[in-house]
Amino acid sequence: MKILVTGGAGFIGSHIVDRLIEEGHDVVIVDDLSTGKKKNINKEATFYKCDIQSSRLEKIFQKERPELINHHAAQMDVRKSVTDPAFDAKSNILGLINLLECAVKNGARRIVFASSGGAIYGEQNTFPATETHPAHPLSPYGVSKLSSEHYLYYYQKVCGLEYTSLRYGNVYGPRQDPHGEAGVVAIFTQKLLKGEQPTINGNGMQTRDYVYVKDVVEANMAVMNNKINDTFNIGTGVETTVNQLFKLLLGITESELKEVHGPEKKGEQKRSCLESKKIFKALDWEPGVSLSEGLENTVAYFKGD
């Protein structure tokens, strides 16, 4: 099958590309390399450096005629979305619409969309959150992801484009970018290995649902070939505080650095945890990598082992 992966040079997207090629699929990557990296691009894939908002995207679709789209290209920095909501909307909403229009016009039959559990639900009322939890996003990023899901529903009902939306927890693992605000596992890991002092925001009691990138890849593989038009949480159902995460990484990196706290980040979500029973019942997917094993693999990657 010919599959187009947007954001295929990025953290999660590049792992998905590798897995698709391993399965024998013909893969086309569209990535503007604003956050993706050339070194992540699988040499067996066809690569186009292109922004999903560009009119060039139509020509790529006309030439390649993908059957399926895996959409991971996005503006994913929550704090940047707060400071520049218009930029976030252009990338995440207008970019998606351009992609969907190209898909419908050129015969694509299905799209798998990378959404966000934590950002869409906002401050949760129940733990872990199911897919029916009220959606009250507290950032333009979360609003854009929720809006995108509504557009997917519209294009399915009106244009017949099949879709599955995957609401990720906090994905971590090899290739995650340690620069910028996203990816606390990568940020802490790189600093600890360099002997630099990481700073924990606030009291460190904020929780996240950390899900390993290989498990996320398998969730994408599970939804690719079915005809289910639906939304699924992709998480572990386990809350881990930032303080707990830091202590685990201290042990794995054998660092003697101390726990240092800084100011609380304004608007940072307090708790986030996702229930994934729905996708287990529908497609038999569940996370298989424990946090300790995933962190060990991540540290080994950053060490170059």
Catalytic residues: 141
Coil/strand/helix, residue 116: strand
Residue 166: closest CA among 7, 285, 23: 285
Distance CA 243, CA 201 (A): 10
Residue with tokens 């650095």: 257
Give the containing element (helix H, strand E) for 163.
Answer: strand 162-168
- Within 10 Å of residue 111's Cβ, how many Cβ atoms? 24
Question: Read out DSSP for 177-190?
Answer: --SSSS-HHHHHHH
Whole-Å CA distances, 280 to 124, 134, 286:
22, 21, 6
- Identify the DSSP state of 208: E
Give the containing element (helix H, strand E) for 236.
Answer: none
Residue 174: closest CA among 214, 135, 136, 139: 214
Q: Tell me how far apart the terminal alpha carbons of the chain are, to the nearest angstrom.
A: 34
SS3 sequence of 25-87: CEEEEEECCCCCCHHHCCCCCEEEECCCCCCHHHHHHHHHCCCEEEECCCCCCHHHHHHCHHH
The pairing of beta strand 162-168 with beta strand 230-234: parallel
